[in-house]
Structure 1
């Protein structure tokens, strides 16, 4: 928080100095045109430039130092005491030659491994999961991965080169690293929103590596989802007489979207639906605490900027690659136990599609758990119940 405050102050000072240079430059130019002495204006510009260089140097220094000081907090018990033998790491790994970041947290490093796959593509939930699902750290070694093009891993690969295969290859490489390091034959897998589809892809290709999978905010058919979301937003906007939203939806037209504005066009209906879900009195603890997550110690100043760049740029490039994917036809049989944790009031990932997929899915074991007071994020909306169900599905004999 301190680094962000200092960064903002220095940036504001720099902006004022730039304005000062422009003003003094304009004043000096006018004096020159009038053949009047402009030496004082030039001296003032020189002083301002020197001060600006100092401010810029300090700003760069703040950014660099904030990067060195990032960490994931040590684990404490309910009384505030450090848990002896616990593991709490914020670590850069090379996955297929690409530098990517993970957090690894657990009370006992010998506990089963649980890899959480964030939503997106381009999203980071490293801090959010630590805040919301800390209880799982008592039972698992919880691993959060900033995928290529997101958060701390935003610059691991040019956005234009990221494909669905990139996530599959690197997700499997991370799985193998975890299995080898912690000497476990298999790990547990959990995916949220986009991560719920990525989890299915990994199960399909590498079933031998996973005990079981939980998908929440389960994505099924990407293009159909976007069309349903668009139609629902239009329906609600007409009901609420939100003419501006209606006009923007009509202007953009129905998905699919391609090109440079995929994110912004999708955001019109997604943000509208998210606002509606957040206002639903049946939904508990609605929404992310984005400010808290951004201020978390895992993220440097650069990471905080990349937090948003991933949501905008990576999503814009990768999401159109997903339009043709439909789990109902492409992944109808899996060799790993699968559980869907669905929020009853989810308007982002249509629960009708997830329910249909669940009923046709063939798996050694499967379960459909409803969260009656949740929307797209049951792990946030009803986190205590969510943890109970995770333990029941994954660890109950």
Structure 2
């Protein structure tokens, strides 16, 4: 098993080899073509655009899709760091595109943006503050290019760190904020996830897991959260369903990019390279993230909670949402999800966006 670790998701993935012989290669290309045809926007008033534009001094990739240009825009800020959503958005996004235009963005160091920029130009810019600035610039770009007064800000996992910062800095850009797998306190998340894994390992008499976990205990404790410790700490909560509920593996997500019509086979391989490039540089800052002292939030905030999420455990965010003052706030629980709610419960994702988020873009408060 090849390991790809991320600071917010810390995911272990088996990407597998691409087809080698000519017959399998042709079948692989036909499969990608079928997905491309399924997801193609054919509505006369729709939009299907993929392009790179200057954001934060480098070229960054955007994919903008929707069945009706008149619909409000969602800016989706992906997780990771450097875990782009574009190559798996085909798994859950099509129904959302009937009611919203969705802009997915490969952040600096991730996916196609990683591919198209010299590493030496980007390396020293991998700072949380720069990602916050980038999020603001992307939102401003979308408003101007598509003629919108504001956009909806939606973020997943690591992406909730710069997205929350952008909402606090520039609330005028956004109708509201949707957090999925929200990070409020990294250290508290690490403690809760570790405790869950240890309890599961004991309950299942998993000696391998117990040895791994005890080797870093107490965690996080007073020691630095290093790459090696965080890899060990995140492996076992995810094995016990803390990434995808009721699953020890998430093949649908990690192998999904191979069928993406938007990523070539070489681009898929670059996902891991972007992760390796990005994560070590961001980890020292990421582990200090703590939004728990934010007592006032300037725009409506909706949190999507995976009931079984032990990758970014829900307790710190649930406590924050109870105490924060905001124009509107709503908790939405996904009972059959862990960390990957849009992939795990795409139907509830759409229904929740229509009930709690679409009214905000129409100038109304949800019921």
Pairing 1:345–2:308 present: yes
Decide whether the 8 Å contact of 1:287 with 1:380 is kept in 2.
Answer: no
How far has the Cα of 1:96 moved from its partner? 2.2
Q: Distance in 2 between matches of 1:337 and 1:209?
A: 12
* Larger helix fraction of residues: 1
Decide whether the 8 Å contact of 1:220 with 1:354 is kept in 2.
Answer: yes
**In terms of mean alpha carbon deviation, does 147-156 or 97-106 score higher?**
147-156
Q: In the superposition, relative to structure 1, how do residues 209 and 134 fare at CA in structure 2: closer, same or farther (>3 Å)?
A: same
Question: For residue 107 of structure 2, what is the aligned residue in structure 1?
Answer: 147
How far has the Cα of 1:265 moved from its partner? 3.5
Q: How many corresponding residue pairs?
A: 328
How far has the Cα of 1:357 moved from its partner? 0.6
Question: For residue 272 of structure 1, what is the aligned residue in structure 2?
Answer: 236
How far has the Cα of 1:97 moved from its partner? 1.9
Q: Distance in 2 between matches of 1:383 and 1:120?
A: 20
Q: Distance in 1 between matches of 2:149 and 2:289?
A: 30
Q: Distance in 2 between matches of 1:322 and 1:98?
A: 22
Question: For residue 292 of structure 1, what is the aligned residue in structure 2?
Answer: 256
3-state SS of 1:134 partner: coil
Pairing 1:383–2:333 present: no
Structure number with larger C-alpha Rg: 1
**In terms of mean alpha carbon deviation, does 336-345 or 287-296 score higher?**
287-296
3-state SS of 2:160 partner: helix
Question: For residue 61 of structure 1, what is the aligned residue in structure 2?
Answer: none
How far has the Cα of 1:249 moved from its partner? 2.7
State the TM-score, normalizing by the size of structure 1. 0.75
Pairing 1:365–2:325 present: no
Deviations 1:120-164 (A, max 9, x none): 112111122232121111111100011111111125353353000
Q: Alpha carbon RMSD of aligned pairs, Å?
A: 2.9
Question: For residue 55 of structure 1, what is the aligned residue in structure 2?
Answer: none
Question: For residue 51 of structure 1, what is the aligned residue in structure 2?
Answer: none
3-state SS of 2:327 partner: coil
How far has the Cα of 1:180 moved from its partner? 0.4
Question: For residue 174 of structure 2, what is the aligned residue in structure 1?
Answer: 210
Unaligned stretches of 5+ residues in structure 2: 1-16, 23-28
Structure number with the bigger relative contact order (C-alpha 8 A, sep ≥ 6) is 2
State the TM-score, normalizing by the size of structure 2. 0.81
